[in-house]
Amino acid sequence: MEEEAERPMVGKIVLITGANSGIGKATSMGLAQLGATVIMVSRDKAKGEEARNEVMEKNGNKRVDLIVADLASLDVVKRLAKEFKRRYERLHVLINNAGGINSKRTLTKDGYETTLGVNHLAHFLLTNLLLDTLKKSAPSRIINVSSFAHKLGKFDFDDLCVERRYSALGAYSRSKLANVLFTYELARRLEGTNVTANALNPGMVRTRFGRTGSKGMSFAFALLSPFMKSPAKGAETSIYLASSPEVEGVSGKYFVKKRPVESNKLSYNRKMAKRLWEASEKLVAKQMTTKGRTEAKDGP
C-alpha cells in the first residue's frame, strides 16, 4: 500500500510531446518517478535519446520509451499515432506539451503558419487519432499545455494562417487560445466517455523557449530568466493533472498552480470553439481518419 501511494502511476501509460527538454522533460521525469510508463516524443533523435536515458537513470524506471516525430508535419504526426498504437494497446494520459514561438512567419511542411501548425493543429490531429485508444483505456486524461498568453489571443477565421500583419506574440497568443478553446470543445464532446480534457498555464519557466527567436526576444527572455520558475516547478501542474486522484472525472477546466481558474472570456464562446474545431478538421482532413473522431453535442 505504501508503494502504491508513492508510485500511483504504476501500470499507467503516458505520452508526452516536446519531452526532450524544459517542461516536457521535467514532466517525463516526474511521472516516471511516480511509476508510469512514459513515452517521450522528440523531433531530434539524439536529444530525445539523451533525455530518455537521463529520465531512466535518475528514476530507476526502465519503462521509458522514445518516439521521434517532427510535429511540423501532419503526415509525421499521423505516423506518430500509428507507431504508438503499434507499440502499445492502452493510453491513460496524453500530454500535448510541445510548443514554440517564431519571430518570423514561417510555414510547416503542410503550408500552414508554423506557430498554429505545431502548437495547435498537430495536437488537434494527434488527439483525434488517439481518441479510440484513450476511450478504450478509460478512465483516461488529455492535458493541453497552454499559457497566460492565451488571454491576449484573438481569432480572425478569414486569416487563420496569419498572412496579414504577422507578429510573433500575436501568433503565439492565438495558438495558446486555440489550445483552451480546443480543450473545452473536446471536453464537451467527450462527456460520458470517462475521458477528461483539461488545459493549464505552467507559468514563466526557465527553458530555451523564445531563445531561438529575434535578438530582442532572446534578450527579453534572458532578462526575465532570474524571475522564472525552474522546469521542475513549471511541470508540477502537468504532473498533478496526470496523476492526482483529486481531478479524477474533472474535465473542461483551465488550471494554474494546480487550481482551476477562469480563462480568457473568448475561450468560453461555444460558437467560436465549434468553428475552430471545424476549421481545424478541414486543415487536417487528409491525415484524419474516422476512427476516434468525436461529434458535436447540442448546446448553447
Catalytically active residues are: 172
The SS3 call for residue 6 is helix
Strands of the 254-256 sheet, one edge to the other: 64-68, 37-42, 13-16, 93-96, 140-145, 195-201, 254-256, 259-261
User: Which residues contact residue 147 at a Cβ distance below 8 angstroms, ignoring those fewer than 6 apart?
Assistant: 99, 172, 176, 179, 201, 202
Cα–Cα distance for residue pair 72/111, rounded to 1 Å: 10
With CA atoms as reference, report the closest residue to 18 among 202, 277, 261, 196: 202
Write the DSSP symbol of residue 263.
-
In sequence order, what DSSP letters do the residues of 62-109 get, joined into one string? Answer: --EEEEE--TT-HHHHHHHHHHHHHH-S--SEEEE------SS--B-T
Cα–Cα distance for residue pair 107/120, rounded to 1 Å: 14
Per the CB < 8 A criterion, the answer to whether 13 and 88 are in contact is yes
Per the CB < 8 A criterion, the answer to whether 197 and 144 are in contact is yes
